[in-house]
C-alpha cells in the first residue's frame, strides 16, 4: 500500500510540474506583459519552438528527478536496514518512481498542448480517455506493476505512456494563443455594496472580480490549493505507517496552515501599489484589504480540515486542537510574510536573505507545535499564543511598509 501511495504521489508531483503549461497563457498575458520570455526566442533567433520545448522537457526531467525522486530514494536506502527491506529494491524504487513522475509530467504537457490548440479538443480527449479507462476495468498502474514484478512489458508500457504524449507535445507545440475578447457588465459597485460591512469593500470586490474573470476563474485557485494539500495527505498516510504515535490530523493542520498563508501570494500576484499611486490610497489600506480578502478565502482550508477530520473518524477531541493549530499557524505565517515582504511576496521571497529570515521565524515554531502535539494533542492549544504575535507583526507591517515601494519590474 505504501508503495502504491508513493507512486501516486510522484505521479501527481509530475502533473504539478507540467501544469505550468496550462498556466503559461495567464502568466504571460497578465504578469509579464510584453516581456520576451524564452518561449518566444524562436521569433528572433534561428531556433525552432520544437527544439526549445524539447530542451525544456529534458531540463525539467533531469532537474526534478534530482530534486524529488533522488532524495526520496536516498532516504529509502537509508531506512532499509531498519524496515527489513531488500536493498535490491532501492534501484527498482528509483526507476519506478521516476517513471511515475515522468508519466504525470508528459501527460499534463500533452493536455496543455491540446489546450493551446483547442479547448474543445482538450475536452473531447478527456472524455475519450475517461471512457477508455471505464471500459478497461481494473488496470494496474504500469510503474507500480514494474515495481512489483520487474519485466519488459510494464517497463515498455510505462515508456510508451511517457514518450508518445511527450512526442505529440513537442511536434505540435505552440506559443501563439488566439486573442479572445471577453465582455463583462460593471459589477464592481454592486459587489462592493454587498461587502460594505467589511470595509475596504472596493478593494475586496476588485480582488474577487480579478479572480473570477481570470483564465480558469476560481476553479484554478481551488485546484492549485487542493492538489498540494492532497499530496501532503498522501505523504502523511505513508508516514504514519513508519512513524507510530503521530497524529496525522495535527501535522496536517500545521502544514495546511503554512500552505493557506500562500493565499496572500495569490491576492498580490497581479496587483501592485504603483497602480494606485496617483489615488488617495495608502499602502496600509491595501494591506488591510488584502488581509480581509484573505480572511474570506481562508474558509477553504477550514473546510479541508473538516473533511480530513471526517475522513479520519470525525472525533471532536483531536479536531478542536487541530483547528486551533490551523488558525494560529495560518495567522502567524501570514503575518511573517506581510512583515518581511509587504505587498510583494511573489518577488521578495525569492531573495535569499528574506527567505532565510522567513524560515528562521517559522520553522522552530512549527516544529515545536508538532513535537508538543505528539506528547498530547491538547498541548497544541498553546499555538493560540501565536495569534497575538501575529497581530503585533501585522501592526508593525502596516507602519513599516507605509513609506516603502519596490522598484518596477
Which carries the bigger pLDDT value, residue 338 or residue 116? Answer: 338
Asked if the model's pLDDT at residue 396 lies above 60, the reply is yes
The rounded distance, in Å, linking the Cα atoms of 326 and 295 is 13
C-alpha cell at 46: 534561428
Give yes or no for residue 50 having a pLDDT over 90: no
- What pLDDT sits at residue 109? 83
Cα separation, 389 vs 394, whole angstroms: 9
Q: What's the CA angle centered on 148, arms 145 and 150, to 5 degrees? A: 80
Contact 68, 104 (CB under 8 A): no
* HSE-up (13 A, CA, CB side) for residue 7: 21
What's the burial of 37, exposed, middle or buried (CB within 10 Å: 0-12/13-18/19+)?
A: exposed
Grid cell listed for 42: 524562436
* Residue 213 in grid coordinates: 474573470
What pLDDT shows up at residue 35? 46
Task: Write the CB contacts of 72 (distance below 8 Å, at least 6 apart in sequence).
Answer: 6, 10, 97
> How distant, in Å, are the alpha carbons of 274, 275, 343 from that of 278?
8, 8, 17
Q: Does position 22 have pLDDT exceeding 60, yes or no?
A: no
Is the confidence at residue 229, as pLDDT, over 50? yes
Please report the pLDDT score of residue 328 as a whole number. 94
DSSP H or E run through 33: none
Q: Say what the pLDDT of residue 329 is.
A: 93
The CB density around residue 277, as the number of other CB atoms within 10 Å, is 9
Q: Is the pLDDT of residue 408 over 50?
A: no
H or E, element range at 135: helix 119-136
| Residue 278: partners with Cβ closer than 8 Å, 6 or more residues away | none
Give residue 38's pLDDT: 57
Give 151-197 pLDDT, tens digit per residue: 888 899 999 999 998 898 888 877 665 556 677 777 777 877 887 78
C-alpha 295, offset from chain centre: 19
Q: What is the DSSP string of 337-405?
A: HHHHHTT-HHHHTTSHHHHHHHHHHHHHHHHHHHHHHHH-GGGGGGGGGHHHHHHHHHHHHHHHTTT--
**Tens digit of each residue's pLDDT (9 = 90 or more) over 105-158:** 888 888 878 877 777 887 888 888 878 776 765 556 788 888 888 888 889 999
Question: Which pLDDT belongs to residue 199?
Answer: 78
Whether 335 shows a pLDDT value over 90: the answer reads yes
**Cell numbers 470525525: residue:** 314
What average pLDDT does the segment 224-240 reach?
73
Confidence tier at 326 by pLDDT (50, 70, 90): very high
Closest of 162, 215, 173, 156 to residue 56, by C-alpha: 173
Answer whether residue 281 shows pLDDT above 80. Answer: no
pLDDT band at 33 (very low <50, low <70, confident <90, very high): very low
Look up residue 366 and give its three cell numbers: 512549527
All three cell numbers of 175, joined, read 506559443
Q: Is the pLDDT of residue 3 over 80?
A: no
* Nearest of 141, 101, 74, 79 to residue 231 by alpha carbon: 101
Average of pLDDT values for 291-302?
A: 87
pTM of the complete model? 0.67
What integer pLDDT is reported at residue 39 of this predicted model?
A: 56
Amino acid at each position: 500500500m505504501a508503495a502504491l501511495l508513493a507512486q501516486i504521489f510522484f505521479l501527481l508531483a509530475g502533473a504539478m510540474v507540467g501544469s505550468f503549461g496550462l498556466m503559461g497563457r495567464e502568466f504571460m498575458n497578465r504578469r509579464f506583459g510584453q516581456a520576451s520570455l524564452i518561449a518566444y526566442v524562436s521569433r528572433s533567433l534561428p531556433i525552432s519552438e520544437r527544439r526549445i520545448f524539447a530542451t525544456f522537457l529534458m531540463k525539467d526531467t533531469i532537474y526534478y528527478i534530482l530534486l524529488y525522486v533522488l532524495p526520496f530514494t536516498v532516504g529509502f536506502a537509508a531506512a532499509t536496514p531498519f524496515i527489513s527491506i531488500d536493498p535490491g529494491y532501492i534501484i527498482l524504487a528509483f526507476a519506478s518512481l521516476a517513471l511515475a513522475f515522468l508519466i504525470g509530467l508528459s501527460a499534463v504537457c500533452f493536455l496543455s498542448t491540446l489546450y493551446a490548440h483547442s479547448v474543445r479538443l482538450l475536452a473531447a480527449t478527456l472524455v475519450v480517455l475517461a471512457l477508455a479507462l471505464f471500459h478497461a476495468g481494473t488496470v494496474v498502474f504500469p510503474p507500480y506493476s514494474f515495481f512489483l514484478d520487474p519485466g519488459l512489458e510494464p517497463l515498455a508500457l510505462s515508456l510508451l505512456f511517457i514518450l508518445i504524449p511527450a512526442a505529440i507535445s513537442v511536434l505540435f507545440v505552440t506559443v501563439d494563443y488566439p486573442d479572445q475578447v471577453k465582455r463583462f457588465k460593471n459589477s464592481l459597485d454592486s459587489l462592493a455594496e454587498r461587502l460594505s460591512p467589511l470595509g475596504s469593500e472596493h478593494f475586496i470586490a476588485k480582488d474577487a472580480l480579478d479572480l473570477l474573470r481570470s483564465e480558469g476563474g476560481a476553479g484554478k485557485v481551488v485546484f492549485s490549493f487542493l492538489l498540494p494539500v492532497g499530496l501532503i495527505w498522501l505523504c502523511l498516510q505513508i508516514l504514519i505507517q513508519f512513524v507510530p504515535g503521530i497524529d496525522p490530523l495535527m501535522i496536517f493542520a500545521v502544514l495546511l496552515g503554512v500552505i493557506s498563508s500562500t493565499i496572500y501570494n495569490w491576492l498580490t500576484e497581479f496587483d501592485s501599489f504603483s497602480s494606485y499611486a496617483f489615488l488617495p490610497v495608502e499602502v496600509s489600506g491595501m494591506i488591510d484589504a488584502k488581509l480581509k480578502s484573505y480572511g474570506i478565502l481562508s474558509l477553504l482550508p477550514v473546510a479541508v480540515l473538516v473533511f480530513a477530520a471526517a475522513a479520519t473518524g470525525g472525533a471532536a477531541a483531536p479536531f478542536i486542537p487541530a483547528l486551533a493549530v490551523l488558525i494560529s499557524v495560518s495567522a502567524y505565517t501570514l503575518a511573517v510574510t506581510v512583515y518581511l515582504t509587504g505587498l510583494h511576496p511573489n518577488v521578495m521571497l525569492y531573495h535569499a536573505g528574506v527567505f532565510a529570515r522567513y524560515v528562521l521565524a517559522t520553522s522552530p515554531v512549527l516544529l515545536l507545535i508538532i513535537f508538543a502535539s505528539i506528547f498530547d494533542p491538547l498541548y497544541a492549544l498553546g499555538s493560540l499564543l501565536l495569534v497575538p504575535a501575529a497581530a503585533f507583526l501585522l501592526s508593525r507591517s502596516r507602519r513599516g511598509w507605509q513609506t516603502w515601494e519596490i522598484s518596477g519590474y
